[in-house]
Chains A and B, each alone.
Chain A
Amino acid sequence: MKKTIAITILILLAASSVLWAEEPDPTVFTNKEAIDLVQTHANYLWTLVAAALVFFMQAGFAMVEAGFTRAKNAINIMMKNLMDFSIGSLAFWAIGFGLMFGVSKSGWLGTSGFFLSDFSLDGDPWVLAFWMFQVVFAATAATIVSGAMAERTKFSGYILYSIVISAIIYPIFGGWAWGSLFNGSGWLEGLGFIDFAGSTVVHSVGGWAALAGAIVLGPRLGKFGKDGSVRPILGHNLPLAALGVFILWLGWFGFNPGSTTTADTSIAMIFVNTNLAAAAGAVAAMIVSWVKFGKPEVGMSLNGALAGLVGITAGCANVTPGSAIIIGLVAGVLVFLSVLFFDKIKVDDPVGAVSVHGVNGAWGTLAAGLFDIGGFSLSTIGVQLVGIVACFIWTFGMAFIMFKIISGTIGLRVSPEEELEGLDSAEHGGIAYPDFGVSTHD
């Protein structure tokens, strides 16, 4: 018996060695198909891991907003952040994705791919990975606005806003700049517009819509004194706000390097640029606040980190790490000046969303042209400026009209009584911290 097995094995070995001898050694070219498949799988994996990181930014936004506002509105803020993602996902599935990435003859509007119709069971599943990565971006733009409208917005009005930005305002602009990433083709990208991960497409869109919302709403009761003085309304949990900023920073490691949607070596520099710009933004904002107020102020420093992140988002793949630091430093100073400016003109933005995302989105888009590794050219700067201005006109204009319509129909702002009582109780029938003491902050 043993003998038989040994003989069989010997015969098999001999046969296989003969087979091996007849086949040439494998090379990169003979194995191209297998290698391409591994690369494809890596691309899926990286894109979806990055999508998960970007999704986690929703938690970051929720914590930043809750931390910078009062305890009596914490439930409302959680509900807004939960719903702008949930409702926004459905709106982007039904309408937004098609407008952004559908076939577009004019370069202004996508016309196919609604309800994820590009997916079929026997078709290429890449559309699913790509959709997942894009929906978390759409939701980022949508949730930016929440912070600027905190503590006074009527919940039903906010839901309506979430649908409109995710279905229409964000996707249409996004298609102009990014449509060709899938089936579309945008007029702005046709000009050579650089916005790798969305300083303009995501952050400025969110920031300018936030500005429109804050203006239409008006300031929170008690924010500005009758004499025109600025009266800070203290956030109820700064450690929570700081946790939110750290979460956002982490999420950005998916936001920027994930925008390759390709698992290749280019993600290393994008990672480093993202980190350096955030660090430089935080340091710059801390120094400016220290010089101006005599103390290194935490709220400004946290906003500085976010400003650096927004600033590097457009140029993260086409500037050097040294340039990323300069971009971050400028962003940190800009966000400081911008927060003071909006206070001065009586626009009440509780978390600094307009300054962080709107203003620094514009700066980052300009900086992607100024510090382009490919060399400085006035025509590139010109195209970047066209993109910045187009984004402001489209987004601010559309959002302003939308908020005015909501305001005039179902209502955008709660009553003064509800605002004083807190939206948690008035809008949601609950309190966030029932075991904590009574707060006497107005």
Chain B
Amino acid sequence: MKKIEAIIKPFKLDDVKDALNALGINGMTVTEVKGFGRQRGHKEIYRGAEYQTDFLPKIKLDVVVDAAIVDKVVDTISEKANTGKIGDGKIFVLPLEQAIRIRTGERGIDAI
């Protein structure tokens, strides 16, 4: 089992979700986050004064999958979340020790 954390542009979430559903992925968790990378935010104007916005709004998508389909999932997210412009985000893949479905107590792959 692997956990995939993808930081993506908020308006790409629907495309990514639909593509993951099409792969047969049945669940995911989404968090509204803020952050910056090499892009370092951008300039905005408020009442005549320019300012730097460092933390830009992003979506963090958590999805746990069978190790066998990790590459497929990562490729799907990268493809669907890609605009070609700076600030498209990142994908992290982490090993996952255990998963438990609270209602039934199922463990491992059965729980995801």
With both chains docked as a complex, state the minimum distance between the C-beta of A20 and any C-beta of chain B, in angstroms. 71
B47 within 8 A of A: yes
Q: Which residue of B lies closest to A294 (CB)?
A: B45
Chain A residues with CB under 8 A of B49: 230-232, 343
User: When the two chains form the complex, which single residue of B46, B48, B55 contacts A234, counting CB atoms closer than 8 Å?
Assistant: B46
Beta-carbon contact of A297 and B48 below 8 Å: yes
Would you call the interface of chain B mostly helix, strand, loop, or mixed?
Answer: strand
Whether the Cβ atoms of A300 and B47 lie closer than 8 Å is yes
Task: Check if B51 sits within 8 Å of A299, measured CB to CB.
Answer: no
A352 part of interface (Cβ distance < 8 Å): yes
User: Interface residue tally of chain A, by bracket?
Assistant: 20 to 34
* In the assembled complex, B71 has its CB within 8 A of some CB on chain A: no
A230 to B47, CA, bound (A): 11
- Which B residues are in CB contact (< 8 Å) with A336? 48
Pairwise interchain contact A297-B47, C-beta atoms closer than 8 A: yes
Interface size class of B (residues with CB under 8 A): under 10
CA distance A300 to B46 in the complex (A): 8
Q: Which residues does chain B contribute within 8 Å of A292, judged by CB atoms?
A: 48
Is residue A295 within 8 Å, beta carbon to beta carbon, of the partner chain? yes
B50 & A299 in contact (Cβ 8 Å cutoff): no
Give CA–CA (A7, B93) in the complex, Å.
108
Closest chain A CB from B14 CB (angstroms): 22
**Least CB distance, B51 to chain A, in whole angstroms:** 5
CA distance A138 to B75 in the complex (A): 67
Q: Which residues of chain B are within 8 angstroms of A343 by Cβ–Cβ distance?
A: 48-49
| A339/B51 in contact, CB under 8 A | no
Contact B48 A340 (CB under 8 A): yes
- The one of A231, A295, A352 in contact with B45, judged by C-beta atoms closer than 8 angstroms, is A295
Tell me which of B47, B49, B50 has the highest count of chain A C-beta atoms within 10 A of its own C-beta: B47
Contacts of B50 in A (CB 8 A): 293
Within A277-316, which residues are at the interface with B (CB < 8 Å)? Answer: 289, 292-293, 295, 297, 299-300, 303
What is the bound-complex CA distance between A68 and B47, given in angstroms? 9
